[in-house]
């Protein structure tokens, strides 16, 4: 039997269900409200090697339960998620991406793009990834998940991923500026120049 209860947690995050539930096996589903206006705004781009089909799976959120989309980084570290694995990049981009993912796992409003760089927009685009962006919430207290995607016929290519929920789809025709001026060398980063636009578009799409 399913029963819905609403309770307020105390200052230590504890909730009492009452004596009727003593010694019961209970499955808990938690719904939290998030103030989007208090979340940092980040951008994510995926200019790396997984196939178009793999990026389409990320766009659709197929590989993390209840995600509307996923975003992430690779840096050839396999499934490893530890700071030391990202500190050997000569240009410092890998550790910046790692730190940005750690920040996003604490909660962020993320604009994620899965298509090609502007100079490659004439390349085949079987899933129309060049034409759309997903904007959604990376929920607070999320865990980075290594997900294997096909790079070629002989190898898996791990993208260390976070979920996006409550995501909306935005087309290039609607807001072309959202697709411009990506920071070179980084996959995930805090956005200052596009912050107001990303917030505006997300508010329009969700209200």
pLDDT tens digit sequence for 116-175: 888 788 888 999 999 999 999 999 999 999 999 876 555 668 999 999 999 999 999 999
Domains annotated on the chain, with CATH:
35-206 (3.10.590)
Q: State the pLDDT at residue 31.
A: 62
Q: To which H or E segment does residue 132 belong?
A: strand 132-138
Please state, in angstroms and rounded to a whole number, the distance separating the CA atoms of residues 171 and 130.
Answer: 9
Confidence tier at 69 by pLDDT (50, 70, 90): very high
Structure tokens, 2: 């399913």
Token pair listed for 121: 């927009």
Torsion sign, CA atoms 117, 76, 110, 166: positive
**How does pLDDT run across 92-105, given as a tens digit for each residue?**
899 999 999 999 99
Position 91 pLDDT exceeds 90: no
Whole-number pLDDT of residue 14: 77
């Amino acid at each position: 039997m399913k029963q819905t209860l609403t309770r307020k947690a105390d200052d230590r995050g504890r909730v009492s269900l009452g004596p009727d539930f003593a010694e019961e096996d209970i499955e808990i589903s938690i719904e939290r409200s998030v103030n989007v206006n208090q979340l940092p705004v980040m951008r994510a781009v995926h200019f790396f090697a997984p196939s178009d089909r793999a990026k389409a799976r990320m766009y659709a959120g197929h590989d993390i339960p209840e995600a509307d989309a996923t975003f992430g980084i690779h840096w050839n570290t396999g499934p490893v998620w530890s700071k030391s694995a990202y500190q050997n990049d000569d240009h410092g981009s890998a550790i910046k991406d790692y730190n940005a993912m750690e920040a996003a796992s604490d909660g962020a409003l993320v604009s994620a793009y899965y298509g090609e760089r502007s100079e490659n927009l004439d390349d085949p685009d079987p899933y129309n990834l060049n034409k759309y962006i997903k904007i959604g919430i990376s929920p607070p207290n999320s865990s980075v998940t290594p997900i294997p995607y096909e790079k070629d016929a002989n190898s898996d290519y791990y993208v260390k991923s976070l979920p996006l929920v409550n995501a909306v789809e935005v087309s290039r025709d609607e807001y072309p500026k959202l697709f411009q001026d990506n920071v070179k060398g980084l996959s995930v980063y805090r956005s200052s120049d596009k912050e107001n636009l990303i917030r505006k578009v997300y508010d329009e799409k969700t209200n």
